[in-house]
Chains A and B, each alone.
Chain A
């Protein structure tokens, strides 16, 4: 499968624990986006990278959230001191510089915070 991949697909954690998710974009896609989707809603933008540079963060991304894309390839999203309100599907998408607005999504990581 040459599409966007995410790992893990599911994560159950206890409140207060830290979690980290990984996204592998489509090869040679220079832009990588993170979105959050809660039940019954459309995805909401969290942050994005152009190559290794993180260029924008939504106000939804509190100080407990951090994202990296160290070599301009895969990205990680870490949530520290998880809260029940962090329970959601975390989606990653990537796009190519020839058509940067056309984003292809990964299968997501579903997080449940108990």
Chain B
């Protein structure tokens, strides 16, 4: 099955700086890569996603890049704000089966220092 690794496990940044989280996946048939943000005690919230036919996608202060050859994808948050503090999860969906189940990384705890 798909195996997703995520780094770093914790990330502390100064408000206004950028944050980058990296993930690698093992299944070359994976073709959909969402990112979820989970605040303490709350549901995972989809913040951005990318499909394998696209190399980069932006939405305001967040962007995701995908390198299919290297099988890795990254989340970039610019101009970080205190409300960006949360746990971020990357995930991958393989096209090998029709289940569309998400395989998650272990998460990155982001702390934005004011």
Contact = CB atoms under 8 A, between A and B. Distances in A.
Contacts of B44: 43, 91, 105
Interface residues of B, number: 24
Contacts of A104: 46
Contacts of A95: 100
Contacts of B36: 105
Interface in B86-114: 89, 91, 93, 97, 99-107
A48 B43 contact: no
Interface residues of A, number: 26
B43 A43 contact: no
A111 to B, nearest CB: 15
A40 B100 contact: no
Given A102-B46, A107-B42, A108-B43, A45 B103 contact: yes
Contacts of B107: 40-42
Sorted nearest first, the 7 A-B pairs with minimum C-beta distance are: A42-B104, A45-B101, A101-B100, A101-B32, A107-B43, A105-B44, A105-B43
